[in-house]
Each structure stands twice: as C-alpha cells, then as structure tokens.
Structure 1
C-alpha cells in the first residue's frame, strides 16, 4: 500500500509538472496569440505581437506581427489617399466653378471660348487625378505574356506627344531587333508613359532608349532637367511624394507597383552616367524572353 501511495503521489506530481509545463509553454502563448489576433480583427493595431520563442509559436507570432505592420501601413496609405483625394479634387473643382461663372457673365465670344477651354482643361486635370488614384488602388495582379517592348514604348510616345503638343521633343533610340519580354503590354505602356510625362514636365528634350541587359530587357527615359538629389532617390517612389504644384504624387508609385507586379523593377540614376542626358534617368527592367511561346 505504501508503494501504491508513493506511486500515486509521484504520478500526481508528474501530472502537475506536465500541466504546468503545457500551460506555461503552450496554452499561455497560444492564448496571447489569440488575444492579439482579436485586437487586429477589431482594428487595434498599436500593440506589437511579441513572443520571444524560436519554435513554431514564435514563427507564428512573427508572421502575425508582419501582418499587423502590413495592415497598419495599408491603413496609413488609405488615410493619406483620402486626404490627398479631397485636396487634389478641390483644386480643379474650384477652377471649374470660377471659369464657368466667368463664362456665364461675359458677353464676348472670344473670351467665352477661352474660358470654356480653361473649363475643359480643369476637367481633364480632374480626370487624370481620378485615373491615378484608381490605378494605384487597383489590385496589382496582372496577366503576363510575350511582349515586344518596342510596341508599348512607341504607343506611350504617341500618347505623350498628343498630350503635350507637337512641339515636344522625344528622341526614341530602340534597336532594330525585337525586345521580347514576359510582361503586360498595358502596364508596360503605362509605366513608360508615366516616366515620359514626368520627364517632359521638367525638360524640353527627352530620350527613350533600351536594349537587352544581361537576363533582362532594360528601358530608360532620360532628360535634361534638374535631376533627382541623392537623398530623395529612396523615397521618390513612395505614394504622394511630389515636388510639383499639381499632381497627386502617384505616378512613380504606380510605376513601381506595375513593375513589381510584372516581376520587374524600376530605379533612378543620373542621366550623365549613361551619357544620354544631363538630368534624371529612370530605368525599368523586365524579365527577358528569348523566344515567344508557341501557341
């Protein structure tokens, strides 16, 4: 009986120790993670998810912390976007009201035509702002296919010329051979068009050029403008970063998102490094495709 009693006490003590171990090392950390998930679900994102462990629960906590930071970053971008939308739309709306009222009041035919032209310009500016915000807010998943990048480049040059006027100078230097890449032709055209419009806003002469570079296809837009200071090159692709009086500061952010969606990248450097210009040079890189896939 004494042996049975000692065995029972030993078993009870072992059970208590095992229960304490499980509660301390498994149940309690899981409860902390459950409560952290509940806070994130309710929108309370100020408290970090911390669990100083090297096992599976620690990796799960790290993943939840990355998720919390991602949600927090998206929320911040959404707040900035809403504030920027209100600010950017208010400016052309004010111009519309002013020019429309002046057009109603004037009796001179020429002046009325001029004011209506200004109204049209404000409508076009408003449309560009809305398109930029829509492009930035859309999901970045794209359909990829074999694309000769010379085609979207020429399409972008034509659009930029039509928007800026016939006096614009865009020098296109593309090779005679095809520049086959795995890309989305519409996104590629939009990326080049955004870069062209930025360059034409600061320079009278812009050069578009490109070729194969290693295992990639590189397209570059070079200008003779003031360039981009070194301390601004890292953040120039962030949304709402701009030094222009007009514009939402989304053009380069859209270029970056489009390129990343196509497994490519964008970078900025001094045009003097390539000798094509004296200002800024923006380069986009696409995965090269040696042979078009057979249907």
Structure 2
C-alpha cells in the first residue's frame, strides 16, 4: 500500500483533469494548480483548486506546503524542459516525496531539449499530436534536487487521432511515411486510471525512479483507415500552420519511437520489464480500451 496521501496535479488540461478525477475517486487529498489566466475548472467535491503562477517557485512551494503534498504530477503540455524547472524548485522547497514529470506520450529517456527535438505548438499547446512531450532533462533536474521521479509513457492518445491524421478535415487518413510501423495507443481514461492506481497502491520502492510503459492497443497508422472506414493517403508532408511540426511527428512515429517500448539509445524495442505495455500488469483485471472502443467506432 502506498504511503502517499496528498497529491498535487499541475495543469487541468486533456490529461490533468482526468488524473484529478481518478485520484479523487480513491479518496486521497488532491489539489489542482491552475494558472491565473486559465478558465475555471470543474473538479470533484473535496478537490481544492489553487490559482498560482507556475513560474514562481516560492508561490508554488507555498501551495505544496499548505496541502502537505507528497506527490506532484506535472501535466503541462510543454516540450521545453525549462517550463517545469520552477516546479522542481518548488518541490524541493516543499520536501515533496515523488514527482511525475509531464511526459504522457512517447518514451523520452535518452532525449534532450524536448522529446526528439521537436519544437511546435499544436492546438494552442506545446504538445504534438496529443502526446505531451518531455525529455531526460527534467528527471535529471529532479535527481540533482534529490527528488525521486516516476515517468509514465503512454504512446499516442486515440482521442486525437481522427484530427491528427486529417480525417476530421478531409474524411480520409493522411499519413507521411509508410504507416507500417507499430505505434502504442492508450486512452485518456486508462492513463488517468492507471496513474491513480499505481500511485495509491504501490509502495514507494516500486514507484521511485521508475518508468511505466503502458499500452492500450498496438496498431499501425495504416490500420486507422479500416477503423475509420475510409481510405489511406500517403503524402510527403503536411501543409498549413502546424504542418512542419506534424510532419516531424510522423517522421518520429515512422522511426519506431511511437512505441512505449522504444529505446532511443539503441534505436530498437526493449524487452521484458521495459517492453511496450509491460506496466499493464500492474493493474490486474483491468480491461484496456482499444482505439475503436475509445472513439465509439
């Protein structure tokens, strides 16, 4: 049984609010940190919302101390490691016991300056294709600060794939590359539920400085055509306002890095305890949602 009783979630976006809801359902203390300029968040009864400037370590640390926070979960959709630096500083000031950096996407161990070097802003957030991006830099900062980390690798979110492959706009699947390389897909409800489950059931020794590689379904981008009941079109690049960054992400997926078992150092799939979906066993009895189930296809 985990000894962690108080949790702070930083950011109430696509993945932040579901994690807040999943933690609240487990009857633990939860505080959601939100920027002053953000819209008002609707949270479960008992969840506190603290409005604070994320760039002010002292102010953030004061929130952590007030709520006696054991675990910080950053869900900022930022590829810039520096965006989380003040949170790490605040966690150190508040003597936080565990910190989960904002990744929730492709494995980023071995990468620096943001996941895979991709710099872009899609859908108004620093995220690529629905996968929040991180790097080794934040965990290294945490290590230097003496704070253990827990890293959650999820692959792509099925919820955004109709938009990402152009189906929403064009009525067909538009892909850069062969589309034949396997990709990990994990639904937002599964991600939130898994994170809440392991953080409230596993002992610290099984959480500290660990990587959790989940996978709801393994499929290729070409597989999306039949799922969406449409044709697949292969193009050289994506055009438009966010075309460059989206083209870059397609190249990343084509390299194999879209799998949660990917190891960038050896540029191949891991096996055993680091294989794609290896963390699924930590949630026994849970049925993971497929892409089809997630999107009600």
Tell me the TM-score range normalised by the shorter chain: under 0.3
| Normalised TM-score (structure 1) | 0.23
Q: Which has the larger radius of gyration?
A: 1
Of the two structures, which has the highest relative contact order with CA contacts closer than 8 Å and spacing of 6 or more?
2
TM-score (norm. length: structure 2): 0.23
